[in-house]
Amino acid sequence: MRILFIGDIVGRSGRAILLDRLPKLIAEWKLDLAIVNGENAAGGFGITEAIYQEFVDAGADAITLGNHAWDQREALVFIERAPRLIRPINYPSGTPGRGAAMIDTRSGKRALVMNVMGRIFMDALDDPFAAVERELSACALGSGADAIVIDMHCEATSEKQAMGYIADGRASLVVGTHTHVPTSDHRILKAGTAFISDVGMTGDYDSVIGMSKEEPLGRFIRKIPQAKFEAASGPATLCALAVETDDATGLATRVGPVRLGGALEQVRPAFWG
């Protein structure tokens, strides 16, 4: 199975490059599954129903969220009628929406997509490791699902790495999101799970993690907020991770970074041409 996980879409420029590139990448790379983290898509804060539908129409099979899941209050309502929108699984019982979804891929296989939020330097949600363990115990890779993807949305690389090792051999991919800077530690762990600490953002890198520079720089220097944060609007870089899995086991066989457009060095997965 060919899986592309696209990192945090930030603001209008991030949306523009996603909508332009994703349909072409699906066709060119013959993708079975395209997953997008959309928690910063609406001006950097949350997601709206209109944006969700744009992403689905462009070919996104699943859209994960994170700590900004409810910044657009409408998300609390429309998530119930948005089956491809996945919020952190470790929100308390009774939170609207779903933390995991079984997705039918283009090749007719089934992929379980999970979103989970860490707790180090983040809101104190329920135990992320226990929440993922329950899902993995209920749905085994290879029999319950042909692929399993976990979006680990958190600050600490240690927490992301721990999730990778805990899920190793039981998930196809554990991908870190949230910190908006792509790391270079992509690899296949010993038991066959692809991993990266942070896939990076899809947005304007002439910014402070996707925000126009003036306000965050002013806050660092003067320690006084002057205005609201606004998403940077320059040319965006699409950051993603490409993963190929074995059809028999669901485990990863190849993994590589993707960086297209914008300011960063351009990288495409060599194994997909």
Strand 2-6 to 238-245 pairing: antiparallel
Q: Tell me the average pLDDT across 117-141.
A: 95
Mean pLDDT, residues 86-100 = 96
> How does the average pLDDT of the chain come out, rounded?
96
Q: Please choose, from the candidates 49, 123, 136, 137, the residue with its C-alpha nearest in 3D space to the C-alpha of residue 88.
A: 123
Percent of the chain at pLDDT > 90 equals 96
Mean pLDDT of 119-124: 92
Tokens read off for 270: 């060599």
Question: Tens digit of pLDDT for each residue in 4-40?
Answer: 999 999 999 999 999 999 999 999 999 999 999 999 9
Q: State the angle between helix axes of 128-138 and 157-167 in degrees (0 to 180), rounded to the nearest 10.
A: 20
pTM score of the predicted model: 0.96
- Quote the distance between the C-alpha of residue 217 and its chain's center: 27
pLDDT digit string (tens) for 165-198? 999 999 999 999 999 999 999 999 999 999 999 9
Instruction: Give the residue, 54 or 124, on which the prediction is more confident.
Output: 54
What SS3 class is residue 80?
helix
Count other C-beta atoms under 10 Å from residue 199's C-beta: 27
Distance of CA 233 to the CA centre of its chain: 21
Q: Which residue has the tokens 């699902």?
A: 145
* Interstrand relation of 187-188 and 194-196 (parallel, antiparallel or unpaired): antiparallel
CATH code of 2-272, in short, is 3.60.21.10
Which residues in 253-268 are b (16+ Cβ under 10 Å) and which e?
A: bbbbbbbbbbeeeeeb
Residue-level pLDDT at 273: 74
pLDDT tier, 227 (very low <50, low <70, confident <90, very high otherwise):
confident
Catalytically annotated residues: 68
Does pLDDT of 136 surpass 80?
yes
The full set of domain ranges for the chain reads: 2-272
